[in-house]
Amino acid sequence: NQDVTSFLEIYLTYNRGISWGVGSSESSINFFGITSLVALVIVGFVWYMHTTKMNILEYGSCLIIVSSALSNFFDRFWYGGVIDFIRFYWGTYSFPVFNIADVFISVGTALLLYLHWFDE
């Protein structure tokens, strides 16, 4: 672990669960189940992209989400879990550890939701 600032640390961890470590365990059955669920969600999202008429910004948002989700998905196979390494903390409070792909999934999702709700 390496402190970058008084509130940011490079903190290597392998997340075998989903967002924020939910469902994380050493169980191979649990890992396979979560990985299968993630694969189904990615396939469903790609199907949604293929069957829905979208403008270029919506399509770009979807590509950001899918490519970042695939990055995390492949981490599961290559490393046995998603590599998370960015940790923000303040005193004893610590935000869940995350990675760059998680940031892009969040940004892509926020943009897609914005475009869906507010773009005419």
Catalytic center residues: 84, 102
Task: Name the phi and psi angles at 97, rounded to 5.
Answer: -65, 140
Picking from 11, 5, 29, the residue whose alpha carbon sits closest to that of residue 84 is 11
Dihedral-angle region of residue 76 (phi above 0 means left; psi in -120 to 50 means alpha; beta otherwise): alpha
CA distance 113 to 55: 13
CA distance 116 to 48: 14
